[in-house]
Amino acid sequence: MAHSHAPHLPHGSASRAFGWALLINLAYTALEAGYGFHTNSLALLSDALHNLGDVLGLGLAWGAAKLAQRPPTLSHTYGWRRATLLSPLANSILLMVFAGALGWEAIRRFSAPPSIPAIPVMVVAGIGIFVNLGAAWLLRDGHNHDMNKRGAFLHLIADAAVSLAAVLAGAGMLAFGWAWLDPAIALLVGVVIAVGTFGLLRDSFNAAMDAVPDNIDQVEVNAFLSSQPGVTAVHHLHIWPLGAHEVALTAHLVRAQDHDHDAFIDATAHALDQRFGINHATLQIERGLACGHDLHDAAPHHSH
């Protein structure tokens, strides 16, 4: 048995990006909350509340990026890379909770919407658009492939959308005196946030539960391994994410030849990385014929 893995990507730049985004959003949240209480604007308060959730989410993502840099230990043999999978799960749960609280308060206010000074709402919310888009720009690199960054990035884009909605609400109140726009926009934004967060919640939950990554077809991987020279059967095949940039695989390969196992394993592991992005493969060679194992065998006999 042998294993091969590619070095994981450095997290130092990601950690700095999270740090700057966190500080920027924390300062803006304090400003917006102050004006929201002063003007009694639900649009501003909901944006500030969501920004507070964003700050907490960024803090989780930053902490996860820092933990991912810690080396393996005797008790944590894979290191702390799984933190980058747990962080977006907590992030998405926070977003759902804040969306629900926002929607509830908006519905409650429909019966008697208060009079809101429109211009302060528009100015403060307008600043929020630039603040959130600027922070999202800091996290733009790699967010499509890094679930931890993706959670924080979506958080910031959602915040920018909330700020834009608050600006539009202020414009409507200023032009037409429609006080109901304040809770209406807040309710709409809550729904949009909840819908947009569902995908992240589903993906991060699956990753935390060691599901096969969406971009990898286990059947295709099994067929690829079965087609390798000398392989007569594949069993105990498992694929799961280790962290933001690492995917692990373990498999038992039945193979009659016993003279080139090391070269075979190195070549197969390299091919798994190049073809499927599986960069931490552990392969065990068994001599002889398969004995009825398949992909659904629930009792693998790993020796590592």
**What are the angstrom distances between the C-alpha of 99 and each of 185, 187, 188?**
12, 9, 10
Neighbouring C-alpha atoms within 13 Å toward the C-beta of 299: 1
d(CA 251, CA 249) in angstroms, rounded, equals 7
Q: What is the CATH number of domain 218-286?
A: 3.30.70.1350
- What single string gives the DSSP state of each residue in 18-57? HHHHHHHHHHHHHHHHHHHHHHT-HHHHHHHHHHHHHHHH
Q: Note down pLDDT in tens along the chain; length 304 residues.
A: 444 444 343 345 556 766 777 788 788 888 888 877 887 777 677 667 767 766 776 777 677 777 777 887 788 777 777 777 787 788 788 878 878 887 887 888 787 777 777 887 788 888 888 888 887 887 766 555 566 667 677 777 877 877 787 788 888 888 888 888 878 877 887 787 788 778 878 888 888 888 898 889 999 999 999 999 989 999 999 999 887 678 999 999 998 866 777 889 999 999 999 999 998 899 998 876 544 444 444 333 333 4
Q: How far are the Cα atoms of 87, 245, 246 from residue 77, in angstroms, in the given order?
A: 20, 17, 15
In the chain, CATH 3.30.70.1350 sits at 218-286
Hey, which residues does 247 pair with through a beta bridge? 241
**Residue-wise pLDDT tens digits, 133-180:** 887 887 766 555 566 667 677 777 877 877 787 788 888 888 888 888
> What strands, in cross-sheet order, belong to the sheet with 246-255?
2-5, 280-286, 246-255, 231-243
The boundaries of every CATH 1.20.1510.10 domain in the chain are 2-208
pLDDT in the model for residue 163? 79
pTM of the model: 0.62
Contact 268, 248 (CB under 8 A): no
- CA pair distance 31, 35, nearest whole angstrom: 6
> Topology of 2-208 in CATH?
Alpha-lytic protease prodomain-like (1.20.1510)
